[in-house]
Amino acid sequence: MSGDHLWCSKRAGLPTVTNSDDPPAFDDNNDRRSALVNSDKIHRPEPASGLSKLTASEAEKSISGNLCRCTGYRPIADVCKSFAADVDMEDLGLNSFWKKDAKLHKLPFYDPKQLKLVAGNTGTGYYKETEYYNRYIDLRFIPDLSTIRKTGSQIEIGATVSISELILALEEENNNDLILGVRSKVTILTGVKKEILTLEEFLEKPALDSRHVLLSVVIPSLKPTENGYSEHIKTKLLFETYRASPRPLGNALAYLNAAFLAEICNGDDGVVINRIRLAFGSFGVKHAIRASKVENYLVGKKLSVNLIYEAVKLLRAAISPENGTSHPAYRSSLAVSFLFDFLFPIVDVDGRLHTPPCDYPGTGSRLTNDDCERMTLLSSAKQLIESSHENYPVGEPVIKSGAAIQASGEAIYVDDIPSPLGCLHGAFIYSTKPLARVKNIKLKCENDVNSIVTFQDIPKGGDNIGIKTGFGPEPLFCNELTQCTGQAIAFVVAETQKDADVAADTAIVDYDVEGLEPPILTVEQAVEKSSFFEVPSFLYPSQVGEFSKGMAESDHQIYSVEIRLPSQYYFYMETQTTLAIPDEDNCMVVYSSIQAPEYAQGVIARCLNIPEHNVRVITRRVGGGFGGKAMKAMPVATACALAAYKLRRPVRTYVNRKTDMIMTAGRHPMKINYTVGFKSNGKITALHLDILINAGMSPDVSPIIPWHMVGSLKKYNFGAFTFDFKVCKTNHSSKSAMRAPGEVQASFIAEAVIEHVASRLSLDVGLVREMNFHSFDSLKLFYGNTAGEPSEYTLPIIWDKLMKSSNFEYRVEMINKFNKNNIWRKKGISRIPILQDVSLRPTPGKVSILNDGSVVVEVGGIELGQGLWTKVKQMTAYCLSAVQCDGVRGLLEKVRVLQADTLSMVQGGLTAGSTTSEASCEAVRLCCDVLVARLVSLKEKVKEQTGSVSWELLIRHANMHSVNLSASSFFVPESASMRYINYGAAVSEVEVNLLTGETKILQTDIIYDCGQSLNPAVDLGQIEGAFVQGIGFFMTEEYLTNADGLLVADSTWTYKIPTIDTIPKQLNVQILNSGHHKNRVLSSKASGEPPLLLAASVHCATRAAIKEARNQLFSWNGLDALDSFFQLDVPATMPVVKTLCGLDNVEFYLQSLLSRS
Amino acid sequence: MGSLKNEGELEESKDAILYVNGVRKVLSDGLAHLTLLEYLRDSGLTGTKLGCGEGGCGACTVMVSYFDQNSKKCVHQAINACLAPLYSVEGMHVITVEGLGNQKFGLHPVQESLASRHGSQCGFCTPGFIMSMYALLRSNKTPPTEEQIEESLAGNLCRCTGYRPILDAFQVFAKSNIYYTQMVLSRYKNLKTVNLFALQLANPVLVDPTRNC
């Protein structure tokens, strides 16, 4: 990374960020200070005089907790900007490399326009480069900059020392000396002059220009007798660091960091603060600051509750993030929380030194630390699967097909296919305006661009089409008028992907909105203008009962309560990608990462005006789909095909993450209004919902969302259940199906209603859930034939089983106890059921046996990582083994599933809706039955001759007798049994930190009914993976847009999917084998989507914990009235949770203490 | 590539050298605009994936090894190849997922453990996780703690598995799992020999910078 990037941040007024990779060099300083100040912790045994007790591993933890570790190269303070020297650059051979014996004084004049100074270059991760340098100077090998020098009284850290090196150095240092970062100094080189500044002076200075070099940071060691600190026995040094960020360990920008150092004196009449330093960073200011006003206020005073109260009031005013910073009030409240956490444990209410019972390890909060026991960072887990062996190898936990080559990196994804000769690369230019005329597109770097493809390049007779669904098409490119932000305007084609990306990124689009209506950006505006997509009547779900009658039966009513649910981005790891190769005779071969190759084939043919048999779409594997590569992969494939068609050269693209996030969009946001009537015992008698779905600019599959939603809403017996859906057409990017589309929202809405009812009646929410459970009769009434047989309604069994297996009652008791004993941490627990109905679709299959007895299989379904190929292989081996010759148990090894190819297997359809694996298996079963029938009589004949028949021998004979060894099928599910319901339940326990709003997921227990699982290992992976994706939706993934609807959370920096440290500390999953299901494929049930709904349990548990916090806040007079019900937004991020717990809960607590005394 | 010079000559050489999976590569001038990831993928080593291009997902994780002049020690580090300028790893040894093991010569225990414990679904993040874990094992003289394992994976994103099976697959390398660790380490030695031997047959290498570390 280079200095100029760093300083750009300062000039541009971007908030400084601490734990980010490079940008936060300022806060680095801040953090470094915190990490380096190996100070005494107040609650540990007294060290020998003059020694600190912080151990190396704590230092490491402290650093890792505060900083991201993108690369081990990350320089500590690479703020270097220039090297003033008169050496010619060419002398040094700087064209590419830095000589290893380089000396600082030999560096050339630094011209930031020509070259870039780098140490780790990790800064480009945050500050994206749009220009590429041809010369880099690597600073890591300059001894002056890259060493750590320790002398008796100080440690000097060179500016390019990496964090990991520093950690190592500190480990060697161990705990000999107290290193006091707060008094550190910065050395700057200007010309030949060295200048030494204190850190504060340095931070106050304007950005360094290209004549200055930051050389090092010097941190003095502090021995209490040197540096003026008294060795008096009653004097203590306290030090603590704090950080609040969306991820405990993983890559995330902090909301606020703090480091505090205090010298206190325990006198006869109480604790007095001799000195104190309070530093804050990363909260939306240009650089870290000291809260001097607060410091001055505190110094020399006796610590008391009142003093702390006055100090936090001052502090709240002092911490004011700059305009435009997100969650400013939350960030200020964090500063208050941290200072409170630092000072409060020192005093008890009487103002005496307070000695807690145990030692607090690690850094960070004391008040909210775990009960003197370190919560292990690690997740532990228990998985229970019940295999059945009757259909061997179906039902076995067979290792996923392709796992080995994925682990070795040999598996080939679309972007791994070598480029054909003459291949070009494309990148999309998308609209940043919701509704505007595109007047002109100007490319900044025209020389690097081969061609620019727009709707005008569509061949005569072809359509401007990028997506087709049953509900209507979506254009490939906008015409003159863009319909939403993120809509494709053009496709830039260049020699390399980088050139194409830069050209697209730097293109300037001229918009004109004159005379245009304002865009429709909210569902309310859509209603006002009656801007809707029609839901075909056969897809409009049917209502149950009469609402007015149900309301008349009720004792209580809740009228018209609003819930808003946001979008969620797919975040597959492999972004959208395609390689299109023109072939002879007007044909096109397209390698696409897509869940629906057949659809892409149709769209490409329509766009290019060629017959579909000229378009071969090939999909081997997809690097994650989740619905995002069903419809949304089509325009990417079509744009490449169109460019290849126009230029008669191969064209490929690998869409960069930002463009992918903006163009692909995600789940449907919606606004819900509910009115509910219920009896005093909690039984709901009537529910009415008004739901406005924001579908965006084109229908995509949005008109089917109401159908999906109602399927999961009906999980409870609401008595009368009515609804009104509007699928709103707006000037947003078109939303598409994402894993459990509509269902996850619906399941959440049902729980929100239940929670509200329970809260209104002050009943246990679990009882209200049970009160509204379906009997089989009501299930039948709500779902009709989809309900299946009474024995298939396994939810009551699951519910009870989970109660026991999760030790629910005992834990509720423990949680109540915990909540009584803890002020700043509250726990919550929730158990929720889920129902999701799924539907099978027609699917083709083809099985062929080769001369040596090996088998190839083709199916309609695509391998997305969901284990479809593995299940298909197992099914093939099982079904062919019905021929009952020797060696059939080894058949699994002989089966290979081929990549999808739209000209080899037609009617492949769409891989979605959780049922494609079983449907593909059923199609294969039909093929195998035909083959077995052809082989059985031959086998008997051969057996008579030879006594025993091996598979290979049988196949040789079959070939000799000209038996047709290939069979194809088209599985069409029977309409009476094509739909069925999946059941599961989850218990989640969380702990909320009332000071920061952080939610820790302590434990989740899941039981899920897979029927007789085709492969329990694969299904387990689906259950856990879906559940964690659901956690993302409910807890962490904030889909933020600007006023025009343009996604601004458009990177890994701003959009936070769950990481290894956000998942439940303990995750126990049990797959229920519910036995025989006569209408299911070998009695199996789906697992792909329904478990995602279970993540609502985490949200409900969080709500329960917040409820405890609010009861407490009420007791401190922090709430005007105890409104027992509150809405907890989705996602329940830290600011959301903290806001509900009380942004000023610390002040109210202190006030309550003051009023008591 | 693989020219047979003696060590002294190598040091005199003005060529920029890079080792990739034990193979010596000469870097020409004018490649300053390339990232290590682009270079690797352009060379056909496509096991290392591009997931975000901003150091935020870990799909491009590789291990670099070099001799640190300051500490006089060999250093092994996991880095995000999408951010590293190609020339920044000059003189170093880059190990990618292909350098650990493959179907033909056998998987490395880290690869095998992840595959056999269902730690991959779509598989796109898999090489990154494997390289993070591998670098942790290489940079530690003793088996890592479970906490270290979890921390070393905090920069890797996976959207399919929910992480539990990945953690499980790698816990076998933790300190607390002594029996298994010993078994793995003995296998690891054998495999390493096989792999390096195979690589050397294909591409004669004089200097393996990691060998004496």
- CATH number of the domain to which B21 belongs: 3.10.20.30
Contact A960, A881 (CB under 8 A): no
A756 domain residue, yes or no:
no
Could you tell me if A909 and A1049 lie in one domain?
A: no
B208 domain residue, yes or no:
no
Residue A623's contacts (CB-CB under 8 Å, 6 or more residues apart) are A413, A572, A573, A574, A593, A865, B49, B122, B123, B124
Q: Do B103 and A408 touch (CB under 8 A)?
A: yes
Token pair of A825 as six digits: 């941490």
A966 contact B CB<8A:
no
Could you tell me if A35 and A84 lie in one domain?
A: yes
- The single residue listed with the structure tokens 């326990």 is A989
Helices (H), A381-538: 403-407, 497-506, 523-528
Is it true that the peptide bond before A1090 is cis, omega within 30 degrees of 0? no
Query: Nearest chain A Cα to B27, which residue?
Result: A96
Could you tell me if A137 and A15 lie in one domain?
A: yes
Sign of CA dihedral A453, A459, A463, A468: negative
Encoded amino acid at A150, one letter:
K
B198 contact A CB<8A:
no
Could you tell me if A964 and A987 lie in one domain?
A: no
A1073 domain residue, yes or no:
yes
Contact B81, B48 (CB under 8 A): yes
The CATH code of the domain that includes A924 is 3.30.365.10
The domain of B36 spans 7-201
Residue A97's contacts (CB-CB under 8 Å, 6 or more residues apart) are A138, B16, B87, B90
Backbone angles phi, psi at A192, to 5 degrees: -105, 0
**A290 vs B155: CA distance, rounded Å:** 31
Could you tell me if A822 and A924 lie in one domain?
A: no
A678 domain residue, yes or no:
no
Contact B2, B24 (CB under 8 A): yes
The predicted pLDDT at position A346 comes to 84
Annotation marks residue A240 as catalytic? no
Residue that finishes a domain, picked among A971, A991, A1011: A971
Which of A2, A57, A96 to substitute to test the interface with B, most B CBs within 10 Å?
A96
Sign of CA dihedral A746, A1053, A652, A608: positive
Compare CB distances from B84 to A121, A381, A1067 and report the shortest one's residue.
Answer: A121
Find chain A residues with C-beta within 8 A of B27's C-beta: 96
Could you tell me if A788 and A878 lie in one domain?
A: no
Contact A1113, A1119 (CB under 8 A): yes
B44 contact A CB<8A:
yes
Compare CB distances from A147 to B27, B70, B171 and report the shortest one's residue.
Answer: B70
Q: Do A378 and B158 touch (CB under 8 A)?
A: no
Could you tell me if A116 and A25 lie in one domain?
A: yes
* Sheet strand arrangement including A684-696: A532-533, A720-729, A684-696, A670-678, A556-565
Binding residues of A: 214, 243, 595, 626, 739, 913
Q: Do B83 and A71 touch (CB under 8 A)?
A: yes
Give burial (CB, 10 Å; 0-12/13-18/19+) of A273: buried
The total number of structural domains in chain A stands at 3
Give burial (CB, 10 Å; 0-12/13-18/19+) of A208: buried
The domain of A190 spans 3-346
**CA dist list (Å): A54 to A46, A998, B151:** 12, 26, 20
Residue B183's contacts (CB-CB under 8 Å, 6 or more residues apart) are none
Q: Which of A240, A743, A755, A1089 is catalytic?
A: A1089
Find chain B residues with C-beta within 8 A of A1063's C-beta: 162-164
Compare CB distances from A121 to B88, B97, B161 and report the shortest one's residue.
Answer: B88
**A143 vs A161: CA distance, rounded Å:** 10
Q: How many C-beta neighbours within 10 Å does residue A1120 have?
A: 7
Q: Do B47 and A1053 touch (CB under 8 A)?
A: no
Q: Which residues of chain A have pLDDT under 70?
A: 1-136, 140-141, 163-164, 167-168, 170-183, 191, 206-211, 221-234, 348-380, 1122-1124
With both helix axes pointing from N to C terminus, report the angle between A1134-1142 and A328-343 in degrees, rounded to the nearest 10.
Answer: 70
Sign of CA dihedral A390, A391, A392, A394: negative
Could you tell me if A961 and A984 lie in one domain?
A: no
Could you tell me if A39 and A112 lie in one domain?
A: yes
Sign of CA dihedral A875, A880, A885, A888: negative
Find chain B residues with C-beta within 8 A of A1017's C-beta: 118
Find chain B residues with C-beta within 8 A of A250's C-beta: 154-155
Which of B103, B124, B146, B156 to substitute to test the interface with A, most A CBs within 10 Å?
B124
Could you tell me if A60 and A186 lie in one domain?
A: yes
Query: Nearest chain B Cα to A415, which residue?
Result: B46
Say how far residue A543 (Cα) sits from the centre of its chain: 35
Find chain B residues with C-beta within 8 A of A72's C-beta: 75, 77-79
Token pair of A813 as six digits: 């008791």
The predicted pLDDT at position A119 comes to 67
B212 domain residue, yes or no:
no
Q: Do B47 and A410 touch (CB under 8 A)?
A: yes
A451 domain residue, yes or no:
no
B153 contact A CB<8A:
yes
Residue A175's contacts (CB-CB under 8 Å, 6 or more residues apart) are A38, A47, A51, A52, A53, A54, A55, A56
**CA dist list (Å): A568 to A52, A606, A824, A1039, B154:** 47, 31, 31, 6, 22
A708 domain residue, yes or no:
no
Query: Nearest chain A Cα to B126, which residue?
Result: A407
**A109 vs A437: CA distance, rounded Å:** 47
Please report the DSSP string for B6-68 in residue order.
-HHHHHH--SEEEEETTEEEEEPSS-TT-BHHHHHHHTT-TTS--S-SSSSS-TTEEEEEEEE
Residue A654 is inside which H or E element, if any? strand A651-654
A691 domain residue, yes or no:
no
SS3 for A1005? strand
Find chain A residues with C-beta within 8 A of B122's C-beta: 572-574, 621-625, 864-865
A116 domain residue, yes or no:
yes
Q: Do B49 and A626 touch (CB under 8 A)?
A: no
**A711 vs A695: CA distance, rounded Å:** 19
Compare CB distances from A124 to B69, B83, B156 and report the shortest one's residue.
Answer: B83
Could you tell me if A906 and A818 lie in one domain?
A: no
The predicted pLDDT at position A1016 comes to 95
Find chain B residues with C-beta within 8 A of A1004's C-beta: none
**CA dist list (Å): A700 to A404, A520, A534, A606, A737:** 37, 18, 12, 17, 9
- The single residue listed with the structure tokens 């004097």 is A235
A588 domain residue, yes or no:
no
Q: How many C-beta neighbours within 10 Å does residue B177 have?
A: 15
Q: Which residues of chain B have pLDDT under 70?
A: 1-14, 177-213
Q: Do B53 and A657 touch (CB under 8 A)?
A: yes
Pairing relationship of beta strands B61-68 and A178-179 according to DSSP bridges: unpaired
**CA dist list (Å): A153 to A32, A184, A214, A224, A754:** 18, 12, 21, 12, 64
The total number of structural domains in chain B stands at 1
Could you tell me if A834 and A859 lie in one domain?
A: no
Residue that finishes a domain, picked among A946, A971, A996: A971
CA distance A743 to chain B (A): 19
Token pair of A805 as six digits: 């297996």
**A137 vs B35: CA distance, rounded Å:** 14
**A810 vs A718: CA distance, rounded Å:** 30
Is it true that the peptide bond before A393 is cis, omega within 30 degrees of 0? yes
Token pair of A56 as six digits: 């190396």
Backbone angles phi, psi at A708, to 5 degrees: -60, -40
Q: Do B84 and A574 touch (CB under 8 A)?
A: no
B1 domain residue, yes or no:
no
CA distance A505 to chain B (A): 15
B193 domain residue, yes or no:
yes
B185 domain residue, yes or no:
yes
Sign of CA dihedral A339, A342, A346, A350: positive
